[in-house]
């Protein structure tokens, strides 16, 4: 008996010990996910898409504080729907596929704005340039997982996308809208 009491006591302590506020791990379902970028050409929308990317998330919608979002983008999977443009964007002036085939976002802080809207602040590394960015998103839970969706504006100049004579923004606009829809499943 004397031995059992401390053991029970220990169990009690464990039961009430605060769990680390980490939330669940989520894995992306590529089939239901899309990462688009919309540039402008003479004020007309020039849409593109990164066909290959991956998002990993540790997230509790009710306690977003300890959450983490990591996204890797295969830059070389970019498709802007026009054969000549796709040829052009591989080059050094644009994405420079040879030197920078991958882009990465890592969150440093994730918080709720209101309701189901959140924002992940972190660092984007694109074409070798590190920049702090904010990624706002909405979170919609479903029976088989969740969907995070959002959009943000990036300045292509900040990442050296379009250098030399392409730096001027009168033909190719300075801002690029990034839109994403990520379908997630709870990782086991």
Partner 1 sequence: MLRNTPDSWGAPAKLFHWVMAALILAQIALGVMAANWRVSPTKLELFFWHKSTGILILALVALRLAWRLANPVPLLPSGMAAWERAAARLGHLFLYALMIALPVTGWIVNSASNVPFRIFWLVPLPAIVAPDEPTADFVAEVHGGLAALLALVLAAHIGAALWHHFVKRDTVLERMLPRRAP
> Where does this chain bind partner 1 (CB under 8 A)?
41-47, 81-85, 88, 165-166, 168, 170-172
Three-state SS at 14? helix
CB of residue 175 to partner 1, shortest distance in Å: 15
Q: Which is nearer to partner 1, 54 or 93 (CB)?
A: 93
Q: Which is nearer to partner 1, 106 or 177 (CB)?
A: 177
Q: Which is nearer to partner 1, 46 or 158 (CB)?
A: 46
CB of residue 95 to partner 1, shortest distance in Å: 15
CB of residue 37 to partner 1, shortest distance in Å: 13
Q: Give the separation between CA 111 and CA 117, rounded to whole angstroms.
A: 9
Spatial CA neighbour of 185 closest among 52, 64, 57: 57
Q: Which residues contact 47 (CB under 8 A, 6 or more apart)?
A: 36, 37, 38, 39, 80, 81
Q: Which is nearer to partner 1, 41 or 129 (CB)?
A: 41
Spatial CA neighbour of 68 closest among 76, 60, 77, 78: 60
Query: 56 — phi, psi (to 5°)?
Result: -120, 140
């Amino acid at each position: 008996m004397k031995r059992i009491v401390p053991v029970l006591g220990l169990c009690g302590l464990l039961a009430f010990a605060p769990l680390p506020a980490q939330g669940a791990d989520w894995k992306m379902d590529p089939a239901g996910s899309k990462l688009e970028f919309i540039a402008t050409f003479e004020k007309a929308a020039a849409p593109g898409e990164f066909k290959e990317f991956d998002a990993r998330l540790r997230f509790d919608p009710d306690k977003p504080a300890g959450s983490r979002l990591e996204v890797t983008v295969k830059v070389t999977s970019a498709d802007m729907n026009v054969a000549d443009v796709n040829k052009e964007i591989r080059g050094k002036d644009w994405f420079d596929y040879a030197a920078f085939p991958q882009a990465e976002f890592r969150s440093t802080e994730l918080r709720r704005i209101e309701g189901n809207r959140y924002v992940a602040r972190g660092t984007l590394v694109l074409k070798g340039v590190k920049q702090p960015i904010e990624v706002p998103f909405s979170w919609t839970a479903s029976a088989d997982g969740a969907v995070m969706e959002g959009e943000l504006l990036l300045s292509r100049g900040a990442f050296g996308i379009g250098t030399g004579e392409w730096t001027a923004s009168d033909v190719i606009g300075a801002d690029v809208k990034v839109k994403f829809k990520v379908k997630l499943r709870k990782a086991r």
